[in-house]
């Protein structure tokens, strides 16, 4: 599996009064990177919602804030898929300023059937795409 890198710029709206990124904004950065990773594999979450009635939802997350990101920083989120099971994907994500790690997260995402609101198998073509890339 290949690591996917996604650039992020820190805007004023991401920060507190001191120009430091608010802790919850890191979750936004990680979410965008996972979405773009999927899009880069030619899977649109919108299409999955409308055509298959499935969505990916965060089941659990472990996050470690190492160093603060600040206003106007140009950052990079590196996303790696470390495990794919029947209905879950485990991501490891690192937020970096150049090569310095600012934040680390391990995110377990579940594939959910929206009609039943229960976990469902990840489509085979998505599983295959994660293993190839």
Q: Does 16 participate in catalysis according to the annotation?
A: yes
Question: Of 20, 1, 3, 4, whose CA–CA distance to 12 is shortest?
Answer: 20
The dihedral of CA 117, 122, 123, 126: what is its sign?
Answer: positive
Asked if residue 57 lies in contact with residue 109, where contact means CB atoms within 8 angstroms, the answer is: yes
Check 16, 64, 72, 78 and give the catalytic one.
Answer: 16
List the alpha helices (DSSP H) in 1-66: 25-40, 45-47
**Sheet strands (E) in the chain:** 4-9, 54-65, 74-84, 88-97, 100-113, 118-119
Tokens representing 13? 């709206």
118 in helix, strand or coil? Answer: strand
User: Which residues participate in catalysis according to the annotation?
Assistant: 16
């Amino acid at each position: 599996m290949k690591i996917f890198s996604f650039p992020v710029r820190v805007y004023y709206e991401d920060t507190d009064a001191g120009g430091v990124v608010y802790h919850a904004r890191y979750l936004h950065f990680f979410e965008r990177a996972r979405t773009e990773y999927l899009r880069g594999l030619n899977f649109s979450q919108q299409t999955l919602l409308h055509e298959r009635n499935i969505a990916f939802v965060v089941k659990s997350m472990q996050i470690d804030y190492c160093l603060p990101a600040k206003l106007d920083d140009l950052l990079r989120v590196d996303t790696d898929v470390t495990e794919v099971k029947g209905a879950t994907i485990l991501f490891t994500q690192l937020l970096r300023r150049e090569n310095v790690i600012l934040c680390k997260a391990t995110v377990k995402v579940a594939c959910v059937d929206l009609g039943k609101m229960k976990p469902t198998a990840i489509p085979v073509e998505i599983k295959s795409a994660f293993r190839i890339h």
